[in-house]
């Protein structure tokens, strides 16, 4: 009987540790700037499952406004969007913020010039679509660690 109680206590303590770890992660807020509803929903689901809070902007102008207002820990930014491209958003974020935000740029563009330009602007990671969700989650975890 005592052995069963000890095992139950260990499971409870392990669950508490897991919840504490998730609570610390849940404090991290990610701004997702993308105009593709399906991509937004799949990224939101995967990132929320890992305990992150997600804020969504549907175009570049809205993304800039939300980055200022919400002060997220990380921005996941699509390159090609209406109203303002991901490059223009990244340029503005780098020029106007005293402490740079962490930024992951995602794109369907295959060009190496685009990647070089994003890196010149100071992007933290550049991920080409389609990508494995694990690839994105690893990048997010690394940048927010």
Q: Look at the chain and count its residues.
A: 145
Domain ranges of the chain: 28-144
Please give the pLDDT value at position 96: 87
Q: Is the pLDDT at 58 greater than 80, yes or no?
A: yes
Distance linking the first and last C-alpha atoms of the chain: 41
When the pLDDT of each residue in the chain is averaged and rounded to a whole number, the result is: 85
Structure tokens at 34: 């993308």
Which pLDDT tens digit goes with each residue over 78-129?
999 988 999 999 999 998 888 889 999 999 988 889 999 999 999 999 999 9
pLDDT band at 138 (very low <50, low <70, confident <90, very high): very high
Write b or e for each residue in 96-131: b if 16 or more Cβ atoms lie within 10 A of its Cβ, otherwise e: eeeeebbbbbbbebeeeebbebbeebebbbbbbeee
Q: Please state whether the predicted TM-score (pTM) of the whole model is above 0.85.
A: no
28-144 CATH: 3.40.50.2300
- Map tokens 């669950």 to a residue: 15
């Amino acid at each position: 009987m005592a052995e069963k109680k000890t095992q139950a206590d260990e499971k409870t303590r392990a669950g508490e540790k897991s919840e504490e770890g998730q609570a610390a992660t849940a404090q991290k807020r990610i701004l997702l700037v993308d105009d593709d509803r399906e991509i937004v929903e799949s990224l939101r689901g995967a990132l929320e499952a890992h305990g992150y809070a997600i804020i969504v902007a549907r175009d570049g102008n809205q993304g800039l406004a939300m980055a200022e207002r919400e002060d997220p820990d990380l921005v996941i930014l699509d390159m090609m969007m209406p109203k303002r491209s991901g490059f223009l958003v990244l340029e503005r974020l780098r020029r106007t913020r005293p402490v740079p935000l962490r930024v992951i740029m995602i794109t369907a563009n295959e060009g190496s010039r685009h990647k070089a330009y994003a890196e010149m602007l100071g992007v933290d990671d550049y991920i080409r679509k389609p990508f494995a969700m694990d690839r994105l989650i690893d990048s997010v975890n690394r940048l927010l660690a």
